[in-house]
Amino acid sequence: MLYQRSSALFEEAYKYIPGGVNSPVRAFKSVGGVPIFMKSAKGAYLTDADDRTYVDYINSWGPAILGHTHPEVLEAVKLQAEKGFSFGAPTELETEIAKFIIENVPNIDQIRMVSSGTEACMSAIRLARGYTGREKIIKFEGCYHGHSDSFLIKAGSGAATFGNPNSPGVTSGTAKDTLLAKYNDIEQVEDLFRHNQGEIAAIIVEPVAGNMGCVLPENNFLQNLRKVCDENGALLIFDEVMTGFRLAFGGAQELYNVKADIVTYGKVIGGGMPVGAFAARNEIMNKLSPRGDVYQAGTLSGNPLAMRAGLTTLQLIKNNPNFYEKLNKTTETLDFEIGKILNAKGIAHKINRKGSMMSVFFHTNRVSNFEEAADSNHSLFNNFFHQLLAQGIYLPPSGYETWFISDAINDVEIDKTLEAVRNFDYSDKVED
pLDDT reading at 159 higher than 50: no
What average pLDDT score do residues 14-39 get? 94
Each residue's pLDDT tens digit, 204-219? 999 999 999 999 999 9
The DSSP output letter for 21 is: S
For residues 157 and 13, the model is more confident at: 13
239 in active site: yes
Q: Which listed residue (267, 354, 400, 407) is catalytic?
A: 267
pLDDT band at 160 (very low <50, low <70, confident <90, very high): very low
pLDDT band at 171 (very low <50, low <70, confident <90, very high): confident
Q: Which listed residue (131, 144, 256, 400) is catalytic?
A: 144
**Cα 428 from chain centroid (whole Å):** 32
Query: Which residues belong to CATH 3.90.1150.10 in the chain?
Result: 4-57+321-422
What average pLDDT score do residues 328-357 get? 97
Each residue's pLDDT tens digit, 350-362? 999 999 999 999 9
267 in active site: yes
pLDDT band at 157 (very low <50, low <70, confident <90, very high): very low
What mean pLDDT, rounded, does the chain reach? 94
Query: Which residues belong to CATH 3.40.640.10 in the chain?
Result: 71-318
pLDDT band at 163 (very low <50, low <70, confident <90, very high): low
Express as a percent the part of the chain with pLDDT over 70.
Answer: 97
pLDDT band at 378 (very low <50, low <70, confident <90, very high): very high
What average pLDDT score do residues 356-373 get? 96
Each residue's pLDDT tens digit, 260-274? 999 999 999 999 999
pLDDT reading at 430 higher than 60: no
pTM summary value: 0.95
Measured distance CA(297)–CA(315) in Å, rounded: 27
DSSP string, 70-116: -HHHHHHHHHHHTT-S--SS--HHHHHHHHHHHHHSTT-SEEEEES-
Residue 351 · residue 378 · CB < 8 Å: no
> Whose CA is closest to 91, among 83, 103, 82?
83
DSSP string, 26-44: GG-TTT-SPPPPEEEEEBT
Domain topology for 4-57+321-422 = Aspartate Aminotransferase, domain 1 (3.90.1150)
Q: CA angle 301-302-306, nearest 5°?
A: 110
Q: Which listed residue (48, 177, 239, 407) is catalytic?
A: 239
Each residue's pLDDT tens digit, 197-207? 999 999 999 99
Question: Which pLDDT score is estimated for 359?
Answer: 97
pLDDT reading at 168 higher than 50: yes
> Which residues are registered as beta bridge partners of 235?
202
42 in active site: no
CB within 8 Å of 121: residues ≥ 6 apart: 145, 146, 148, 151, 204, 237, 239, 241, 264, 278
Q: For 71-318, which CATH class? A: alpha beta
